[in-house]
Amino acid sequence: MWTLVECRSSVNVIYFLQGAGAFELAARKHLINEVKKTVKGRAQLGVEAFADALLVVPKTLAENSGLDTQDEIVTLTGEHNRDNIVGINLQTGGTLDPQTEGIFDNYSVKRQLLNSGPVIASQLLLVDEVIRAGRNMRKPN
């Protein structure tokens, strides 16, 4: 079921990405194989952490479908490393071609997710840091 926001944004924007976790796996591969080489030092760790965080989508799809998460991720990343753009088959496990199956994600929704996700995560970490600092200030020495 599409939400009203997804329906509205799909009418306004004609760009779609392959779904079923295929985009996230392809983006992760690009970040690890291409982008990580262009940055130095600690930034490489950040690129790698962000790339690994993208796997949350296919992992969640697998888990919610009752599939073995690790087996599915290993299978999917293996296919992507062989330059096959595949997504997760939620019915039987394994892989499928999202384009052939008509499984797409809305570009606008995905862009917003990728832009807001890191900001929200850093804000949560900041709040956690402030709470911890407040607790430390209340402790008597």
Instruction: Provide the pLDDT confidence category of residue 129 given band limits of 50, 70 and 90.
Output: confident
Is pTM, for the whole model, over 0.85? no
Q: Tell me the per-residue pLDDT of 25-50, one tens digit each, with 9 for 90 and over.
A: 999 999 999 989 898 988 888 889 88
Domains and CATH numbers, the chain: 15-105 (1.10.560.10)
Q: Check if the beta carbon of residue 86 is closer than 8 Å to that of residue 61.
A: no
Which phi-psi region, left, alpha or beta, contains residue 46 (left: φ > 0; alpha: ψ -120 to 50)? alpha
The Cα–Cα gap between 54 and 7 comes to 24
Q: Tell me the per-residue pLDDT of 46-93, one tens digit each, with 9 for 90 and over.
A: 889 889 989 999 999 999 989 999 999 999 989 888 988 899 988 888
Query: How many angstroms separate the Cα of 83 from the Cα of each of 1, 26, 77?
Result: 31, 9, 10
Sequence-distant (6+) residues with CB within 8 A of 89 are 20, 95, 96
